Structure 1
Amino acid sequence: MSNEVLSPAEMGEADRLAIAAGPLDGYGLMQRAGEAVAGVVLSRYPAASRVHVLCGPGNNGGDGYVVARLLGESGVDVTLWVSGEPRAGSDAAIAATECSLERRPLAAFVAEQGSLVVDALYGAGLSKDLLGDTARAVDIAASLPVVAVDLPSGVSGDSGDILGTAFRADITVTFARKKPGHLLLPGRERCGEIVVADIGIGDDIIAQVASRTFENKPAFWLEELPVPAVDAHKYKRGHVGVFSGGPSATGAARLAALAAARSGAGAVTVLSPANAMQVNAAHLTSIMLRKTGAIEDVHEFLGDRRSSSFVLGPGFGVGDKARDFALAVLARKRQEGGVEGLVLDADGITSFRNEASTLFDAASRPDAPALVMTPHEGEFGRLFPDIADDKSLSKLAKARAAAARANATVIYKGADTVIAAPDGSAAINSNGARWLATAGSGDVLAGIIAALLAQGMRAFQAACAAVWIHAEAGRRFGPGLIAEDLPLALVPVLRELVEARQKAPTG
């Protein structure tokens, strides 16, 4: 699978395994990396008056020495600036020896307009703040085009955090696979265009590393995307129940319900308190409506209609009622004809802020329906305050810790949404759209997830698919998007995915 994301430590292990397997040794991989970067520089910046290559003391700097040598051999005007000496006998030391260009100290670095900077100082393995001469180099390069080797220096490969300061690259050339720092904010904004170069570390090597982190792309979940059978009737396509709030807060539930219907659920019912029935009825046509104001109504609906999944939270209100309804759904057995999952969003999450263990215990029962939670940063902090406050954890690590504790799939929302499963699998979304920062957008996402659960997708895959589909619809619609636009905007995205699913070879 080509969408694995490797931590810097996992990338080091991939390097080690590749060297052990041959035919390339460490310097051979370094040579390939340098060739890839030099190729990008030559093809993308043919008019650069001069190229300044900045080399650190480690393997990232070794790649830089190869880049400088190859560019010089191609007739490019290259100036080489170095910070520290490579360790004697290392691959970087070999690369430095092979490069005959004059080495100038990074402390004296200057660069003129019209030139290009190649940042080969530290890459993904950096663990401390950039200071002194390196920080000064970042400032000088701020007005120039930058090509970063592996990752812009100053960006944490594990978390995407900025360590003091960091280069802002126009193009980042990385090797074999992306790192979390390429996808997590704020590092993602420093990378520019990301080019993943093949340097001879094959898929078989990556498979041995067994990463549990992925970039959220259709290839990751497309095989499970539901496509109705020819003889399918509406209840075979899944039945979604969406709990509505009171008469002044019904719109969020209807958005979720409409999104569920557009996303393939064969039947959708809005479960409404009595005092909101008239308001909801005035706005619903193909979506069904049922009075559900007390816990007894929930149990009756669970027994009568065999809904496949539920959404609870959008516009519902915070309190005992939300907790009771959620726990009633989770108390059902996930089996043939039973409840597949509960999507807990917004008020549903906040309702458990002081009783999180009750929710987590209910989700941990072996035959409980799958629980999917969709917190934004504030909601995440209410349910997992200690994890949220732990500054040593990246967003990826926080989502993983929360999913393991809750025995739930956690969608930690944001421009760099992370989806995590209880077993440690996680995906980082990379097609986020700024236009989705609008009221009601999250309600639509909840409906998409519920529809995919109702149609039989596993919880983690359904969550990943829903996040990508939701973001893609928003990205394509663009400026002017409001939440009411999103359900219909899903249609062309879903059509393309279903067509791709039908054309894809089956395992």
Structure 2
Amino acid sequence: MSSEQTPSDRTRIDQILTVAQMRDAEQALIDAGTSVDELMQVAGRGAADWVWRLAGHHKVTVLCGPGNNGGDGYVIAEAIRERGGHAVVIAATEPKTDAARNARALFKGEVIALDAPGGDVQVEGDVFVDCLFGSGLARPLTGEHAAVVNALAASHRLSIAVDLPSGVQSDNGMLLNEHLPKYDLTIALGAWKFAHFLMPASARMGELRLVPIGVEPVAGAAFAVARPAVAAPSADSHKYKRGLLAVVGGAMPGAAILASIAAQGAGAGYVKLFADSKRNAPADLVVDTGALSDVLADDRNSAVLVGPGLGRDGLARERLAVALADAVPAVVDADALILLAPRHLAERQAATIATPHEGEMVALERAFDLDGSGSRPERALALAAESGMIVVAKGPDTVIAAPDGRLACAPRATAWLSTAGTGDVLAGAIASRVASGVPAFEAACEGVWLHGEAARLCPPAFTAGQLAERIPAALAACV
């Protein structure tokens, strides 16, 4: 995404819509004068551009269902045929919408009817395109349909899902059927859906691409975390103007050091670690071994980070209380999340960002009397609303929720992040962006993006230390 795009452009490109929001957005286009057939042509031909990139003149098999997702499939097949490609359609059933029937009538290639006598599908090809069902599916595939999808995926070199893989629940990312195939590419139509970002569905989608169809920004919609635009320091900057981050150490000093190194590379001008010892700290990291109350009394502090390596004993509880007494934005991570209780936040005026993994999320839900029900975004929003914190529910499907209802989902990052210490790096990156003066919710999104990009720049089986060292390179991609 280029820095020249307006906020409206960014929202239009990055928004994540529920099934109901997408239906309303499409209806708004229809009410404004765009026909369903025109929308289908825009969506289908946009998807065909991506299919063509993978298939070219190789054989394409398009599985079409009865609804408008099936109609998109007929448009894709015709667009491939018009380019001189080889596209065959397998019709799982007859089209049941006017637009789908019109799209089928316009397709001039071969159609194999699955429900016709002898319609047992044994088709091989190079690229399988799944247009059986789209984002509106709420029930499992029939045994016949599931078998066809799996057979076609197995008999083709590459598999592409259009809008969503068939058998996926759009709003929560759950699989409606077991043993669904994995896809090499999923082409979202009109807007992102939650399933593109949430487990377990997102793990089966391969690369993600979006085909715009003119949908306008939807008020209150969630959005996908995108590469931030970071301005270089002004000509008159100094370390305090760029932000002083106080990092509170504890029983396991290595975690706080990792977080501090990440923070140094994410934009803050000054990172100061409060610890009992300077042992193992890099030479360019300031370590203060004095009283924590003195460190946090520094009115030059821009933000505070507490939790990595903190421990869970009485001293840790004391340090958490002192850290949250500082009247600056705070990032609360790791052990501090287990110790955190509503009373710690009762007097806070500045923003607080919590970065729980699943186990810590459950502990916070208990502490704030929440039942933990609902989808991952719903749980994060509920915790944010109840606690007043910005919640970064981290994991393979990270979501960021704010007390005012804002919600963001992070793109799927490399699974190599599943190693000890990477959460400390994430906390440091987020805290650094907050210390730099970025508003808390936006800082959380920026830190999550930097974390994922740094992981992409690392070799396989990287360590948390290697990840922290890549944070400056990730930041460089944003300047």
Instruction: State the TM-score, normalizing by the size of structure 1.
Output: 0.83
Say whether 1:344 aligns with 2:358: no
Contact 1:421 1:460 in 2 (8 A): yes
Q: Deviations over 1:418-457 (max 9, x none)?
A: 1222222222111512232222221122112212111111
Say which structure is richer in helix: 1
Alignment partner of 1:121 is 2:127: no
| Partner residue in 2 for 1:194 | 208
For residue 235 of structure 2, the aligned residue among 230, 237, 256 is 230
Matches within 5 A, 1:204-219: 205-207=215-217, 209-218=218-227
Paired position in structure 1 for 2:289: 291
1:32 and 2:38 correspond: no
Q: CA deviation at 1:34?
A: 2.5
Contact 1:226/1:452 (8 A) holds in 2: no
Does 2:443 align with 1:429?
no
- One-letter amino acid matched to 1:288: V
Map 1:258-277 to 2 at 5 A: 258-272=261-275, 276-277=276-277
**What's the counterpart of residue 168 of structure 2?**
155
Looking at structure 2, the residues matched to 262 and 327 of structure 1 have their Cα atoms a distance apart, in angstroms, of 27
Alpha-carbon spacing, 1:71–1:466, altered in 2? closer, same or farther (3 Å)? closer
The answer on 1:182 being equivalent to 2:180 is: no
CA distance in 2 between partners of 1:358 and 1:319 (Å):
18
Deviation at 1:195? Answer: 2.9
The structural deviation recorded for 1:103 is: 5.7
- In structure 1, stretches of 5+ residues that fail to align are 334-338, 499-507
C-alpha contact 2:372 2:379 (8 A) present in aligned 1:
no
Aligned length: 459
Q: Which residue does the alignment assign to 1:487?
A: 468
Q: Distance in 2 between matches of 1:496 and 1:289?
A: 29
1:172-213 per-residue CA deviation (whole Å, 9 max, x = no partner) reads 2322222121222222232223332233x1xxx422x22431
- Supply the distance in 2 between the matched residues of 1:256 and 1:31 (Cα, whole angstroms): 49
1:131 to 113, 131, 142: 142
Q: Following the alignment from structure 1 to structure 2, what is the Cα–Cα distance between the partners of residues 314 and 349?
A: 10
Secondary structure at the residue paired with 2:241?
Answer: helix
CA contact (8 A) 2:384 2:390 kept: yes
Structure 1 residues 457 and 109: CA distance shift in structure 2, 3 A: farther
> In the alignment, is the contact (CA less than 8 A) between 1:149 and 1:174 conserved in 2?
yes
**1:129 corresponds to which letter in structure 2?**
P
Amino acid paired to 1:326: L
Change (3 A) 1:26 1:325: same
Q: Tell me what 2:93 maps to.
A: 83
**Alpha-carbon distance between aligned partners in 2 of 1:84 and 1:444, rounded to the nearest angstrom:** 53
- Secondary structure (helix, strand or coil) at the match of 2:148 reads helix
Aligned with 1:5: secondary structure? strand
Are 2:312 and 1:318 equivalent residues in the alignment?
yes
1:152 to partner: Cα distance: 1.0
Change over 3 Å in CA distance of 1:265–1:116 after alignment to 2: closer
Call closer, same or farther: CA 1:250–1:331 in 2, change over 3 Å. Answer: closer
- Cα deviation, residue 140, structure 1: 0.9
Aligned residue for 1:336?
Answer: none
Residues 286 and 195 of structure 1: CA distance in aligned 2, closer, same or farther (over 3 Å) = closer
CA distance in 1, matches of 2:62, 2:280: 66
Match of 1:302 among 296, 310, 323: 296
Residues of 1 paired with 2:265 and 2:162: CA distance?
43
Identity among equivalent positions (%) equals 37
Q: What residue ranges of structure 2 are gaps of 5+ in the alignment?
A: 1-9
Structure 1 residues 40 and 316, CA gap change in structure 2 (3 angstroms): closer
Q: 2:32 aligns with which of 8, 12, 21?
A: 21
Q: Which amino acid aligns with 1:159?
A: N
**CA–CA separation in structure 2 for the residues paired with 1:103 and 1:360:** 63
Relative to the length of structure 2, the TM-score reads 0.87
What pairs with 1:135-146 in structure 2 (closer than 5 Å)? 135-143=146-154, 144=156, 145-146=158-159
The one-letter code of the counterpart of 2:264 is A
CA contact 2:454–2:470 (8 Å) conserved in 1: yes
Distance verdict in 2 for CA 1:265–1:121, change over 3 Å: same
Q: For 2:193 and 2:125, how far apart are their aligned partners in 1?
A: 31
CA deviation profile, 1:254-295 (whole Å, cap 9, x unmatched): 1112222222322222222xxx33xx2563533223335xxx
4+ residue segments displaced more than 4 Å: 68-75, 96-103, 385-389
Q: For 1:18-97, list aligned pairs within 5 A.
A: 18-22=29-33, 24-49=34-59, 51-71=60-80, 76=86, 78-83=88-93, 85-87=95-97, 90-97=98-105
**Alpha-carbon separation, structure 2, partners of 1:91 and 1:316:** 60
Is the alpha carbon distance of 1:170 and 1:495 closer, same or farther for their aligned partners in structure 2, counting shifts above 3 Å?
A: closer
Partner of 1:308, secondary structure, is strand
Q: Structure 1's 80 and 304: CA in aligned 2 closer, same or farther, altered over 3 A?
A: closer
Distance (whole Å) between structure 2 residues aligned to residue 401 and residue 428 of structure 1: 16
Indicate whether 1:243 and 2:248 are aligned.
yes
Q: Is the 8 A contact 1:376 1:413 kept in 2?
A: yes
Q: Answer whether contact 2:128 2:153 (CA < 8 A) is retained.
A: no
Q: Distance in 1 between matches of 2:476 and 2:53?
A: 36
Q: Give the CA deviation at 1:480.
A: 4.3
Deviation at 1:98, TM superposition (A): 4.8
Equivalent position to 2:444, from 447, 463, 471? 463
